[in-house]
Structure 1
C-alpha cells in the first residue's frame, strides 16, 4: 500500500508538471501544484522508508521532474503561445504631419462629404466643409484635427 501511495503522488506530480509545460503554459498554478504533489511524495518517502531508499526515490523524482521541464522548454511548445508581431499603428500615427492649413490640393473622388483628395501627389481621405464637391475640384485645407482633414 505504501508503494501505491508513493508512486501515485510522484506520478500525479509529474503528470501535472508535464501538463503545465505542454498544455497550459504560463498559468503556473498547475505547475506549482504538480511540484507540491511531488514534494509531498518525497516527504512521504522519507516518512515511510529507510533514509537511503528515500534519497534514491528523491533523486529519481528530481531527475524525472527536471527532464519534464527541460523537455517542455526544448519541445518548442512555447513558440505556439508567444506573440511574434507587434502593433505599430495607431489612431494618430503621423499621417497628416506633412500637411498644413491653407495647403492646396485636388479631389481624386467625389466628396459626399467624405472622399479622397491629393496634396503634393499623396492621396488622403478628406471631409468637405460644405457637403458635395465633385471630382477634380481644387480644394484647400482649412482644418486638421485627429487625422481628419477638413477642406473647402
Structure 2
C-alpha cells in the first residue's frame, strides 16, 4: 500500500509539473502542488520504507520528471496547443493621415507630453514639444515623425 501511495504522489507531481511548465505560466498552484507531491513522496519513502527505498524513490522521481519532460517536448502535443496565427491587423490611422504640418486645433486632454487633440475635426494622439499643455489650449502641428504628431502651443 505504501508503494501505491508513493507512485500516486509521483504521478500527480509529474502531471502538475508538466501543467506548470507548459500550460500555466509563472508560479501557480500547479507548481506548488507538484513540488509538495514530489517532496512528500520522497519523505514518505524515507520515513516508512527506509533509506534504501528512499534513495530509490528519489532517483526514480528525478529520472521520471526528466523523461516525462523529454517525451512531452518531443510529442506533437505542444504543436497542437501552440498558437499558429500571425497578427496581420494594423492600427487605424486615417485620422493621423489627414493631419498636415501647420494645421491648428485644440488640446482635447491635458498634454503631459502625450495626449489627445482635436485637429481638423479628428481626435488624434499627439506629443507636445513645449512640455505640459493644458486642455482646450490652441495648438499647432510642427512636425510629423514616424506617425507621431508633434505639436506646440499656438502663439497668440
| Deviations 1:104-152 (CA, angstroms, capped at 9, x unpaired) | xxxxxxxxxxxxxxxxxxxxxxxxxxxxxxxxxxxxxx925325xxxxx
Counterparts of 1:8 and 1:71, CA distance in 2: 20
Counterparts of 1:42 and 1:12, CA distance in 2: 13
Instruction: State the TM-score, normalizing by the size of structure 1.
Output: 0.50
Cα distance, 1:71 vs structure 2: 3.9
RMSD between superposed Cα atoms in Å: 3.7
In structure 2, the residue matched to 1:32 is 32
Higher relative contact order (CA 8 A, sep 6+): 1
In structure 2, the residue matched to 1:94 is 96
In structure 2, the residue matched to 1:6 is 6
Change (3 A) 1:61 1:25: same
For 1:58-69, list aligned pairs within 5 A. 58-69=58-69
Counterparts of 2:63 and 2:94, CA distance in 1: 54
Counterparts of 2:2 and 2:99, CA distance in 1: 75
In structure 2, the residue matched to 1:125 is none
Worse-superposed segment, 51-60 or 62-71: 62-71
Q: Which runs of 5+ in 1 are unaligned?
A: 102-141, 148-152
Cα distance, 1:48 vs structure 2: 1.4
In structure 1, the residue matched to 2:129 is none
Instruction: State the TM-score, normalizing by the size of structure 2.
Output: 0.49
Change (3 A) 1:145 1:33: same
Counterparts of 1:92 and 1:68, CA distance in 2: 52
SS in 2 for 1:146: strand
Q: Which has the larger radius of gyration?
A: 1
In structure 1, the residue matched to 2:136 is none
Change (3 A) 1:81 1:70: farther
In structure 1, the residue matched to 2:54 is 54
Cα distance, 1:69 vs structure 2: 3.1
Cα distance, 1:85 vs structure 2: 3.6
The answer to whether the 8 A contact 1:9-1:41 is kept is yes
The answer to whether the 8 A contact 1:13-1:38 is kept is yes
